[in-house]
Homo-oligomer: A and B are copies of this chain.
Amino acid sequence: MKIKIVAVGKLKPYFAAAADEYTKRLQRFCDIEVVSLDEDGVRKESESILKKIKGIYILLDIGGELLSSEEIAAFFSKSLSKGTSEFTFVIGGSDGVNDEVRQNASMKLSFGRVTYPHQLMRVILLEQIYRAMAINANLPYHK
């Protein structure tokens, strides 16, 4: 199972430390790769994003589907049972992504109706992917 996160922008040290922690924990379950793209305006960022997408592509989007953690876990296990084992999650920059990046998404996923800074969004996403893996592995996960 391969999971790639494509995100725009750099992380502050404390968010980088949190992201590293979840990335490390995820290595138990999958081949995880985080690709950080430089901030470079929506058009160029979107071009770079499109080049990085492989497998099922999920765009993080405030107006997207509000899945529960269990539903995200089920999404992974269902995809795996259909033979798909490669996933790309995309977090756009502060100014979002262009239409092509939006339209190519297999799913738009939302973590609520509030706007998050993209740095925090990356930590939230990594934690939720880890949580989904823990749910599917029937692992007790409390912190």
- Copies of this polypeptide in the complex: 2
Asked if A68 meets B113 with Cβ closer than 8 Å, knowing A13-B17, A14-B21, A94-B142, the reply is yes
Partner-contacting stretch, out of A26-34, A45-53, A114-122: A114-122
A side interface size, CB within 8 A: 32
Interface residues of A (CB under 8 A from B): 12-15, 17-18, 21, 66-69, 71-72, 94, 110-120, 123-124, 127-128, 131, 142-143
Looking at the complex, which one of B72, B118, B120 makes contact with A114 (CB distance below 8 Å)? B72
Q: Inside 8 A of A131's CB, which chain B residues have their CB?
A: 114-115
CB atoms of B113 and A124 under 8 A apart: no
CB atoms of A66 and B115 under 8 A apart: no
Sample (26) of A-B pairs whose CB atoms are under 8 Å apart: A13-B17, A14-B15, A14-B21, A15-B18, A17-B17, A18-B120, A66-B112, A68-B113, A68-B115, A69-B115, A72-B114, A94-B143, A110-B112, A111-B112, A111-B114, A112-B112, A112-B113, A114-B128, A114-B131, A116-B124, A116-B127, A117-B127, A117-B143, A118-B143, A119-B143, A120-B123
